[in-house]
């Protein structure tokens, strides 16, 4: 056997293994959630009643779906202005300067900080600060969690946007400048139309990342199993309810948690697929 064939079979096995693992995950999530699905059916998605008390167990995932969507959308709204300005700063205004590379490295560093550190920082610094400035008497809830999520997803939103902004052909920009366009006009009329789908895709991937974030959110959201009613209301997310209750859960509760896991898996897959689709369209 020549080395090419060996390499080919090694690569084939490796990729097949990944396929098998993700297939197995989906399968076990499906199997685990059957019990809950038989009990509650589609009602699981629209019921807001989550009662794990023995003897009157009743599970509905709506509070967690709502909490997840609320925090992630809010986080994205807060992250976009910061991420967009950073991208422009790094990839256009101060492109190839030392300052830009420092900022870029720092943003990348944000991605490497473990989630629990964000959680602790949020718990001990950010939350007391929110109480201090009088936004909320105890500081837990949707707003605080979204703020910490926004900081966490900035690196994901910037890195891909940076690349696409840098990929805008110089000739186009030079042509615009030679026609007397100002910098703002170049950004608005040349860079944005060219890099639009890349930037969009990066925000969608960042959104997908916010959906699944667990530890930092658990520490700040208040873990109340209710549909959040305001910015400062407490709530719970899908990932955080799983992290909280999985340990001591059994029977129907365990199955309901697995079904939430399956839902989260599906939502994240769809969001990522949309992101991938948009990226593909630009190439």
∠ CA(50), CA(51), CA(52), 5° rounding?
A: 120
CA dist 187 → 89, 93, 202 (Å): 11, 10, 18
Is the CB of residue 204 less than 8 Å from the CB of residue 189?
no
How many of the other CB atoms lie within 10 Å of CB of 196? 13
d(CA 17, CA 82): 39
Touching other proteins, residues 32-51 (CB under 8 A): 49-51
**Total number of residues that touch other proteins (CB under 8 A):** 32
Phi-psi group of 139: left, alpha or beta (phi > 0 → left; psi -120 to 50 → alpha; rest → beta): left
- The conformation of residue 26, written as its DSSP 8-state character, comes to H
The one segment of 82-90, 149-157, 183-191, 248-256 that binds other proteins by CB under 8 A: 248-256
Count CA atoms within 13 Å of residue 280 on its CB side.
6
In whole angstroms, the minimum distance from the beta carbon of 64 to other proteins comes to 12
The one segment of 21-29, 85-93, 102-110, 120-128 that binds other proteins by CB under 8 A: 120-128
Out of 73, 80, 166, 249, the only residue in the binding site for other proteins (CB under 8 A) is 249
Site string for other proteins, 96-115 (x = CB under 8 A): --------------------
The one segment of 22-30, 142-150, 202-210, 222-230 that binds other proteins by CB under 8 A: 222-230
55 touches other proteins by CB under 8 A: yes
In whole angstroms, the minimum distance from the beta carbon of 260 to other proteins comes to 15
d(CA 281, CA 93): 27
Identity of the residue, 54 or 230, whose beta carbon is nearer to other proteins in the bound complex: 54
The footprint of other proteins (CB under 8 A) covers 49-56, 123-124, 127-128, 131, 137-140, 218, 222-225, 234, 236, 243-245, 247-250, 253
């Amino acid at each position: 056997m020549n080395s090419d064939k060996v390499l080919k079979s090694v690569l084939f096995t490796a990729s097949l293994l990944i396929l098998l693992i993700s297939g197995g995950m989906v399968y076990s999530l499906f199997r685990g959630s059957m019990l809950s699905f038989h009990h509650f059916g589609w009602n699981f998605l629209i019921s807001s009643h989550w009662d794990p008390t023995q003897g009157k167990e009743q599970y509905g995932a709506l509070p967690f779906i709502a909490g997840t969507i609320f925090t992630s959308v809010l986080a994205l709204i807060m992250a976009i202005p910061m991420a967009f300005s950073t991208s422009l700063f790094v990839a256009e205004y101060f492109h190839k300067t030392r300052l830009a590379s420092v900022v870029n490295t720092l943003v990348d560093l944000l991605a490497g900080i473990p989630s629990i550190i964000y959680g602790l920082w949020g718990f001990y610094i950010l939350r007391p600060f929110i109480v201090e400035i009088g936004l909320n008497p105890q500081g837990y809830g949707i707003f605080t969690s979204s703020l910490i999520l926004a900081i966490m997803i900035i690196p994901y939103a910037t890195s891909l946007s940076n690349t696409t902004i840098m990929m805008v052909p110089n000739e186009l920009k030079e042509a615009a400048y030679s026609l007397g366009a100002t910098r703002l006009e170049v950004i608005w009329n040349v860079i944005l139309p060219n890099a639009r789908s890349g930037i969009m895709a990066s925000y969608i991937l960042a959104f997908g990342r916010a959906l699944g974030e667990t530890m930092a959110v658990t520490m700040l959201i208040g873990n109340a199993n209710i549909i959040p009613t305001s910015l400062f209301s407490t709530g719970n997310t899908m990932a955080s309810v799983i992290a909280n209750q999985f340990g001591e859960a059994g029977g129907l509760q365990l199955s309901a948690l697995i079904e939430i896991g399956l839902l989260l898996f599906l939502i994240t897959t769809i969001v990522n697929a949309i992101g991938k689709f948009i990226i593909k369209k630009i190439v």
